[in-house]
Amino acid sequence: MPKGYLIAHIRVRDKEAFEEFKKLSAAAIAEHDGKVLVRNPSPDHREGGGQGLAIVIEFESLDAAQAFYESDAYAEARAVREKIADTDLVLVEGL
């Protein structure tokens, strides 16, 4: 079964408050057996206008990635993030 991935580009407006999001999201990721493959605060942007953190998280399947995203634990983290950052986020299935 192909892996599932969360791919996000996060433009943080409040770095101090973002630490709370990281704490909450890390617990939710662990709860859903996710594995952070990329967390880079200064990626090498080649196209597009946005700057910010790049993150890629691997899950056992797309269903597992969706379950993580829709979980109560991640909803709490997401509520924090939405107040302090602008985010582009997709869930995709690997090859």
Q: Categorize the per-residue pLDDT at 49 as very low, low, confident or very high, splitting at 50, 70 and 90.
A: confident
What domains does the chain contain, in order, with CATH numbers? Answer: 4-43+51-93 (3.30.70.100)
**Confidence (pLDDT) at 64:** 98
Tell me the C-alpha distance between 58 and 85, whole Å.
Answer: 22
**Confidence (pLDDT) at 34:** 98
Q: Categorize the per-residue pLDDT at 84 as very low, low, confident or very high, splitting at 50, 70 and 90.
A: very high
Residues 50-66: tens digit of each pLDDT: 789 999 999 999 999 99
- Residue 59 phi, psi (nearest 5): -125, 165
**Confidence (pLDDT) at 45:** 86
- Look at residues 8, 15, 29 and name the one whose alpha carbon lies nearest to residue 91: 8
- What is the pLDDT of the chain when averaged over all its residues? 95
**Confidence (pLDDT) at 48:** 82
